[in-house]
Structure 1
Amino acid sequence: MRYLLNVLFFLTLLSCETIIEIAPPDYEPKVVVTSHFNPDSIWSVALHQSSSIGIKQDVSKQYALGASMVIMSGSNLVDSLNYVGNGLYKSATFKYPLPKTLYTLTVDIPGQPRLQASSSAPPRTSITDYRIELQGSVVETPIDRVGLYNIWIEFEDVPGTNMYEIGIYRYTAKQVLGGLSVDSVYQRQDSFESLGLGWYCGFQSALEVDVEFRGGPGVSCTRLVVTDRTFSGQKYEWSGTLQLSFSADERQADNEVLLLLTSYSNDYVEYARTLTENQDSGSFFEPISVYSNIDGGLGIFAGYTNTSLILSLSE
């Protein structure tokens, strides 16, 4: 009997549960600017409005429309950007940014404060020497071929404080992306059999002085970066060994890799670092503020510069 009374009391408590809905605080949207510019692409800027967490909104209505947008270099007009849809503004004259040039973006939207930001793309880095070597020979299997390749480059540090990233992209053919067949595509290689010492996985680790250099066997890293604090103004070497496999129907199309050596502006590094920290903080921790250099709004206007190298895969 006592047990039955306890059960009835517990069920009574459950039936008295009250759900209280808490309305989110009032939120005033801000204009967000996004522009990662480089000398290999025409001027392009995306505009949208920020939204409050937990509020479902139609993304198509969050674009900041009706903006007048210009790029200046000092007192000289460089370009005016036109709206092309989906919140994107592009150069109508197909002008490209130049490295080592300070640019100022000015955005005027009716009823909104003026938005401004300044940044530059770093000078292009010179790759002074390189080689790619097949270790041993390509191994034939019933379904593909497998080869172990060592890549080595030497590049010259440019003046100033710099952050570099190495990206290795394998050229493949007959890919299906999102249900669409394409002739060719470059796929980033993130896993290395071994990696030369001196590189870090991500901007945050590279900026922490006490963190040991990454490298060694079996490295998987989405962003291989290094600062020039240990080799400022000098030449620097990088090496990595990766295993590549090729299917039988790709024999004529997969014989090269693309190497990208990217140098970033300080604005870009700080934005990418804090954005990654924010994404990694999780839902149970206080969000980390993402870096912004937009005066009057949110977002980023920052430059970077690529130096590319096509490496042929020998057999």
Structure 2
Amino acid sequence: MEKSFENEPDRITVNSFLNSSKPIRIKLYRMLKNNNAYIFKGLTDAHIVLKEDEKILFDDFCPDSILSIGYLPHPGAIYSIEVSCKGMTTVKARTTVPEAINCKPYFTFPDEYWDISKYLVKLDSFSIPSIDRVSLWITTYKMYENNDIIQYNELYTNNLFVDKTNRVAGMDIKNEVVGSIYYDGFLRIKQKNLSHLGMLIFTPNFVYSSGVVMPDSRQKSIMVKLITASAEYDQYNKTLFEQKSMIVYDNDISSIFYQPKSVYCNIENGLGIFAGMSEVDYICELPKADD
């Protein structure tokens, strides 16, 4: 963090995404002031109380700054955490791990294998969990024969129910199905639009930093990830994206109106994020060049 002349107290920071397909992992830090600047260090020997509904999963001192438990969070359960450390204010947080949204995926490819602008991903028949306050995030990845994975940075679609937070307009038309508007890195469908979501069609595209778009013969498949986001996960990632997107240059006259974007935090008396989520992956093998 930059130099500051504000006198903020030392704070406990808790960072954790509770994923229904991964063991629980919680990172702990402490914020300290150092020569008019703030630094973060791992917090050790903190007392942690972690609960699933009313069941205690952990109640002890953690000698490390990372608490790892070989336990998968249960969809539909409510999780709470309380972290205390001598000389610092106790922090608390709550979240819910939502049941995963599923769908029926379809992948279509053009007759011309190398015409990547006509790859289409179709997602249909979404199953929406009954729990309130969940949103859907969709990301897509290039998967290679050596197991490397690269996220597509442009997703073209003209679906009205996709949130406009990361929408970029004015690009070349990809094809007549998805139009000329792309979304930077992800598609987000907020809670109020989920019940209206029918078939979602999009074209994933990867643009190199040089601006060049080219086929990749090493790619073997496409992976589409559906993230069912709790309200906490949704607001944290949305506001984090908005903050990182607010680039202001020194010679930009608009900088005089700049207002920093706050990143959502649900840690009472502290900093960080404690949020639930569920993931579903759909993988489609690409046709071979000689098919």
Do these two structures clear the TM 0.5 threshold for a shared fold by scoring above it?
yes
Amino acid at match of 2:264: Y
Residues 164, 263 of structure 1: 8 Å contact kept: yes
Residues 203, 272 of structure 1: 8 Å contact kept: no
CA RMSD of aligned residues (A): 3.1
Query: What is aligned with 1:45?
Result: 26
**TM-score normalised over the length of structure 2:** 0.76
Distance 1:261 1:147, change over 3 A: same
Matching of residues 80-229 of structure 1 within 5 Å = 87-91=65-69, 94-127=70-103, 129-139=104-114, 148-154=118-124, 155-159=126-130, 160-173=132-145, 183-192=146-155, 194-198=156-160, 199-202=162-165, 216-217=179-180, 219-229=182-192
Q: Deviations over 1:4-62 (max 9, x none)?
A: xxxxxxxxxxxxxxxxxx99343322111111111111111111123569845665xx2
Partners of 2:4 and 2:190 in 1: CA distance = 46
Partners of 2:230 and 2:4 in 1: CA distance = 41
Q: 2:45 aligns with which of 51, 56, 66?
A: 66
Residues 136, 148 of structure 1: 8 Å contact kept: no
Indicate whether 1:309 and 2:289 are aligned.
Answer: no
Q: Deviations over 1:169-222 (max 9, x none)?
A: 11014xxxxxxxxx3222111224x424132353899xxxxxxxxx62252422
Q: Give the C-alpha shift of residue 134 in structure 1.
A: 0.9
Q: 2:240 aligns with which of 271, 275, 284?
A: 275
Amino acid at match of 1:292: C
Partners of 1:242 and 1:297 in 2: CA distance = 38
Amino acid at match of 2:215: S
Indicate whether 1:299 and 2:261 are aligned.
Answer: no
Partners of 1:53 and 1:288 in 2: CA distance = 24
Quick check: 300-309 or 156-165, which moved more?
156-165
Q: 2:225 aligns with which of 244, 252, 260?
A: 260
Residues 12, 29 of structure 2: 8 Å contact kept: yes
Quick check: 75-84 or 150-159, which moved more?
75-84
Structure number with higher strand proportion:
1
Indicate whether 1:36 and 2:1 are aligned.
Answer: no
Partners of 2:191 and 2:38 in 1: CA distance = 44
Amino acid at match of 2:78: L
**TM-score normalised over the length of structure 1:** 0.71
Q: Give the C-alpha shift of residue 291 in structure 1.
A: 2.3
Partners of 1:303 and 1:241 in 2: CA distance = 28
Q: Which runs of 4+ in 1 moved over 6 A?
A: none
Partners of 2:279 and 2:270 in 1: CA distance = 28
SS of residue matched to 1:291:
coil
Query: What is aligned with 1:13?
Result: none
Q: 1:239 aligns with which of 193, 201, 216?
A: 201
Q: Give the C-alpha shift of residue 226 in structure 1.
A: 1.1
Where does structure 2 lack aligned partners over 5 or more consecutive residues? 169-177, 206-213, 249-254
Residues 239, 263 of structure 2: 8 Å contact kept: yes
Partners of 1:295 and 1:56 in 2: CA distance = 23
Query: What is aligned with 2:252?
Result: none
Amino acid at match of 2:15: T
Quick check: 97-106 or 150-159, which moved more?
150-159
SS of residue matched to 1:216:
coil
Among all aligned residue pairs of Structure 1 and Structure 2, give the percentage whose two residues are the same amino acid. Answer: 17
Give the total of aligned pairs. 258
